[in-house]
Amino acid sequence: DFAITVITAFLWLVSTAAWAKALADIKMSTGASIITGIEFCKAPETTCHFASVTSMRTLNVSVVFGLLNMVLWAGNAWFVYKDTNLHN
């Protein structure tokens, strides 16, 4: 049980870090800076404006809940460790 709990906590940490990195990439790819990379916007007599991006609050909250879930599993690992023969 202890090994499975530790592995699960570690996997939550890794998956949350991967999701946070992907979310940062999504924000960078959909931000106002993409206008300078669009060839059509570089044409003469063409004006491109950045209007808005959908709110990403819920995605940020999902990263926070992922970290909180990892903390929960790590805390559970401590209690499982206390019940093993490894703890005297």
Q: Is residue 62 domain-shared with residue 42, that is, in the same domain?
A: no
Taking Cα atoms as reference points, which of 22, 17, 27 lies closest to residue 67? Answer: 17
pLDDT of residue 1: 86
Domain hosting 70: range is: 54-87
Please check whether residues 32 and 9 belong to one and the same domain: yes
Q: Looking at the structure, do residues 23 and 48 belong to the same domain, yes or no?
A: yes
- The structural domain count of the chain equals 2
Q: Judge if 20 and 48 occupy the same domain.
A: yes
pTM of the model: 0.76
Both 48 and 58 in a single domain?
no
| Residue 44 sits in the same domain as residue 58 | no
Together in a domain, 15 and 41: yes
- In 1-88, DSSP assigns E strands to none
> What are the CA-CA distances from residue 7 to residues 29, 65, 87 (Å)?
33, 18, 19
Mean pLDDT of the chain: 89
- pLDDT for res 28: 86
